[in-house]
Structure 1
Amino acid sequence: MNRQKFSGVKENFLQRRYGVSLGRRYVLAAASVVLLGVLGCSQVNNSTNALAQSSSPQPESPLPKKIVNSDPKIVDASNKFGFKLFSEVQKNDSTEKNIFISPTSIAIALAMTYNGASGSTQQAMAKTLELQGMSLQEINSSYAATKKLLENPDAKVQLTIANSLWANQDANFQPDFLQRTQDFYQAKVSNLNFKDAVAANAINNWVNENTRGKINKIVEKIEPDQVLFLINAIYFKGNWSQEFDKKQTTQHPFYLTSGRQKQHPMMSQKGDYKYYENQQFQAVSLPYDKDGKVSFYIFLPKQSSNLKTFYQNLNFENWEKWMTQFNKQQGFIRLPRFKTDYDVTLNDALKALGMEEAFSSKANFSGMGKNFAISQVKHKTFVEVNEEGTEAAAATSVAVEAVSLRQQPQLFQMIVDRPFFCVIRDNQTGNILFMGSIVEPQS
């Protein structure tokens, strides 16, 4: 491969990861991959190949979503898409199975793909991703700004977002498409021989490195008609602002959806928390830093209710209302120590949300080249919650190929001993990094 073919475009990073120590506590990582293949044997409209390389609780105003250089529209779009996608995933998955996804990771991977969409395919993707009314320039600039704001929000919290583009050396792509992935998404752009078995290893090694070993494989095999991978990786690590005392962790029953119970290690502590309760559920926010810039939210349906009923009210509009209802309050919380793996193919969910054309022979991705269509969107995650904090990872692969206040202070008690919904949220921007439901904790 003549490397001079690729000298016209170079890797251009808008921002480098901060040099914050990883620490020992907890890790959250997400990786999203967009894999593209060519439809038929048509040549792309450009000869340029891919590039190488303690009193009454008082209401607290939520942290503002809009901060310097941040566009709340892109955060709202990502969150709206996340709730819609989660709804489709949980409808198609077993009620006995833990679910955990990263809306941010999936949205960024698909946003990079969106840069190559045109015509009705672009319109369908915009509707699914909640990007209507936003220009491509606005979308890309907003994601670039959001990335900068999300990364490393506190000295005790590390959050990095990395993107990459891996191209088949035998395929041709529109140079503007490649350049935008670099300029706005700071993507590492590399050229590979997809016929060589080591190509998949190179991609998986990048994912492994950028999720700190939590996702070690996203590409099982490169198919003959696949020509491009777009990958996003998100990594988070930090400490609970108030760690759980391991001596207080004891065995307690956890009641499963089936009605049976299992003995499971449960962590517990008392303290001041942002707390919200209504007739349907209890909710608490556990911060990862003293200023509460990033938190782990738990939504526990009342014993008279369940997750299925909770899901009926889980949407973006209600989420925004709930976020304003949390008050500082003293309480006791008992939480299962858990970890889980999750693996899902998102094709059906995305089609149900309006992206069916993008998976068909009618797909129009002329912004990146001729005759491209998405063939598969896969998502893998890992999460572990323990006394020290949270460790999690996610990887998304998109393949494109052929064709209220109280009168007196009260001590709330929240015993998380049944299936619950949880979210990891950046409270500065309002961006939901991860969301999921735990129906059976595993240790």
Structure 2
Amino acid sequence: MTSPNNLINVDARLVAANTKFGFNLFNTLSKQQPNKNIFISPTSVALALSMAYNGVSGETKQEMTKALELTKMSPKAINAANHNLQKSLQKDDPKVQVSIANALLVRQGFSLKPEFLQINQQYYQANLTEIDFESPQEALSIINNWVSEKTHGKIDKIVTKINPNTLLFLINAIYFKGNWETPFDQSKTANKTFYLTDSSSKQHPMMSQMGSYRCYETETFQAVSLPYGKKGALSMYIFLPNSNTNLATFSQQLTPENWNKWMQEFRVKSGMIEIPRFKMEYEVQLKDTLIALGMAEFFGGLKTDFSPMTDSQVAVESVKHKTFVEVNEEGTEAAAVTVIEMTRSMPAFEMNVNRPFFCAIRDNTTGTILFMGIIVDP
């Protein structure tokens, strides 16, 4: 796949993998959070996990390869493709801005292996910054200031506390701002009825315009592509389930195969569109979602093999994702941050019975203690 702006070759296998992973992630979240606003950046999550992917081995790597839909690519090809993708996404259009940043923020004195560092710096421009985590307020300020700067202030906080065992944050940030190719006339925006999933309704500002649009209609939905900027390299695609169905039913059709097929079916038609003006923030912990996608080993604590990353015993504490989006008459502004927090790998419970101890045998149904004793010399 070649970008017309800068002729950077982007590996189509990575685009296909990211599309599959993105829909898997989105559909799993939709099931976990029914009837809730959801707004994610699959690209941000995939890039953050790709950085971590360079630090895992064994079964963990196999699970991540499958969950990220990367089975057809070698690690070297994945990194090279991600590098080209990030460069290609930077659009040569004064009315469209896309910026991507990655970082490795580590506790002072914590050592990462040179190859892991070199790969993430070369392919993801993820510069290493040592931070004094013993001064938590200062550390939080450094981390969140980085996030705020990279998202142009749209996400000003992602980390709220420094765990005493935290060793490393792998962070991706994406910022997007695009003006519509054809802006909406503010004077035509008016409060109109918006129907909610529980059959109730509310009055909400609706933007409207007439023109020619790339559209697609089926028996179950209507869709429109609203381009940004002068070159239309980026668009917002809006899919509206028909009134005789609903979003949950439509979501069942939302597969990579259908998506790719639908993208080929859009045709230019004249007409009128009316869409809501909206602004929202979304935040989610992705641990349970990623485990549901097959990445249990990634969160496996002592079992997880992070030997390509460090000689220390480390574990994934959390994967946090936060987004912002505002859609108005001028266009769209959106931002996303994904943070993977790594901590010292501590056993959940460790007990070494190597000195005198008390023991009892209890019937847990009745509470009867059948035996008890002290063992001083086994």
Shorter chain as normaliser: what TM range? 0.7 to 0.9
Structure 1 residue aligned with 2:331: 389
3-state SS of 1:341 partner: strand
TM-aligned CA deviation for residue 290 of structure 1: 3.1
SS at match of 1:375: strand
2:240 counterpart of 1:297: no
1:39-75 Cα shifts (integer Å, max 9, x gaps): xxxxxxxxxxxxxxxxxxxxxxxx99x9642111111
Q: Which residue of 2 aligns with 1:166?
A: 105
Between the aligned residues of both structures, percent identity stands at 53
1:154 to 2:154 alignment? no
What amino acid maps onto 1:111 in structure 2? S
User: What secondary structure does 1:213 align onto?
Assistant: coil
SS at match of 2:293: helix
Matches within 5 A, 1:4-19: none
Residue number in structure 2 paired with 1:339: 279
Shift of 1:94: 3.3
- Determine which of 364, 386, 389 is the counterpart of 2:305: 364
Question: Which of 237, 242, 245 matches 2:182?
Answer: 242
Aligned to 2:69: 130
CA contact under 8 A between 2:8 and 2:84: conserved in structure 1? no
8 Å Cα contact 1:364/1:373 also seen in 2: no
Cα offset for 1:108? 0.2
1:400-423 alpha-carbon deviations (Å, 9 max, x no partner): 2224xxxxxxxxxxxxxxxxxxxx
Q: Which amino acid aligns with 1:237?
A: K
Report the CA distance between 1:80 and its aligned residue.
0.9
Q: Secondary structure at the match of 1:355?
A: coil
Gaps of 5+ in 1: 1-62, 404-443
Secondary structure of 1:221's partner?
coil
Instruction: Give the gaps of 5 or more residues in structure 2.
Output: 347-378
- Counterpart in 2 of 1:222? 162
Write out per-residue CA displacement over residues 146-196 of structure 1, whole angstroms, 9 at most, x where no aligned residue.
111101242321111111111111212111111111111011211111111
Q: Measure, in 2, the Cα distance between the counterparts of 1:208 and 1:263.
A: 33
Partner of 1:82: 22
Determine if the alignment matches structure 1 residue 113 to structure 2 residue 55: no
Letter in 2 for 1:340: M
Asked if the contact 1:157/1:236 (under 8 Å) is kept, the reply is yes
Q: Tell me how far apart the structure 2 counterparts of residues 303 and 238 of structure 1 sit (CA, whole Å).
A: 30
In structure 2, the residue matched to 1:182 is 121
Cα distance in 2, alignment partners of residues 67 and 120 from structure 1: 37
Are residues 1:193 and 2:132 paired? yes
Q: Write the mapping of 1:43-54 to structure 2, written as runs, cut at 5 A.
A: none
Tell me the SS of whatever aligns to 1:206: helix
Q: What is the CA–CA distance in structure 1 between the aligned matches of 2:275 and 2:264, rounded to whole Å?
A: 23
Q: Distance in 1 between matches of 2:208 and 2:61?
A: 48
1:141 matched residue in structure 2: 80
User: How far apart in 2 are the matches of 1:125 and 1:332?
Assistant: 44
Out of 25, 40, 43, which is 1:101 matched to?
A: 40
Could you tell me which amino acid in structure 2 is paired with residue 166 of structure 1? L
Asked if the contact 2:95/2:230 (under 8 Å) is kept, the reply is no
RMSD (CA atoms): 1.6
1:11-50 → structure 2 map (5 Å cutoff): none
Q: Choose between structure 1 and 2 for higher RCO, CA contacts under 8 A separated by at least 6 residues.
A: 1
Partners of 1:133 and 1:79 lie apart in 2 by: 14
Q: What is the one-letter code of the residue matched to 1:235?
A: Y
Q: How many correspondences in the alignment?
A: 340
Q: Distance in 2 between matches of 1:306 and 1:114?
A: 37
TM-score normalised per structure 2: 0.87
Conservation of the 8 A alpha-carbon contact between 1:363 and 1:371: no
Give 1:380's aligned amino acid: K
CA distance in 2, matches of 1:385, 1:237: 10
